[in-house]
C-alpha cells in the first residue's frame, strides 16, 4: 500500500467507512482525504453531471485504535472499482478531484 493510492477505510467507535486517498500512514494512525462511503454515489453523480458541489472530500486523521481495515481499492475481473467507474463516468481522475489544488498533511504539502 502506497501513499497516494485510493483506499477504503473501515473504522470502529463509531462504525464508519470512507473512500479516498491515503496521505499518511504511521503507527499513530492514518491521514486520508475522503468521502464517506455512503455518499460516494451522490458524489459521483455530482461530478458526472457537472452539478453544483454539494458533497466534498475532507482531510481527516483517524487514530490507530479506530482503524479496523485499510484496503487498496482496485478492480477485480469484471467487477469495476469505484475509482475506475468515476474515471469512466465523470471523465476525470478521482485522485485529482479528491485532492484538489493542494492538501496539507503532517506539515507536508501534497501537490496535486
Candidates 29, 37, 106; CA nearest to 68 is 29
Candidates 4, 25, 6, 1; CA nearest to 81 is 6
What does the pLDDT profile of the chain (112 residues) look like in tens digits? 899 999 999 999 899 999 999 999 999 999 999 999 999 888 898 888 877 778 889 999 999 999 999 999 999 988 999 999 999 999 999 999 999 876 444 445 554 3
How much is the pTM?
0.83
What is the pairing mode between strands 6-11 and 16-26? Answer: antiparallel
User: Cβ of 110: how many Cβ atoms within 10 Å?
Assistant: 18
Amino acid at each position: 500500500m502506497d501513499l497516494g493510492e485510493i483506499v477504503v477505510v473501515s473504522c470502529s467507535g463509531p462504525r464508519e467507512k470512507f473512500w479516498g486517498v491515503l496521505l499518511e500512514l504511521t503507527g499513530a494512525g492514518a491521514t486520508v482525504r475522503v468521502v464517506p462511503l455512503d455518499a460516494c454515489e451522490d458524489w459521483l453523480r455530482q461530478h458526472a453531471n457537472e452539478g453544483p458541489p454539494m458533497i466534498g472530500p475532507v482531510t481527516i486523521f483517524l487514530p490507530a485504535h479506530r482503524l479496523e481495515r485499510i484496503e487498496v481499492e482496485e478492480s477485480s475481473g469484471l467487477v469495476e472499482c469505484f475509482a475506475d467507474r468515476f474515471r469512466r463516468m465523470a471523465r476525470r481522475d478521482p485522485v485529482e478531484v479528491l485532492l484538489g489544488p493542494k492538501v496539507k498533511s503532517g506539515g507536508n504539502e501534497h501537490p496535486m
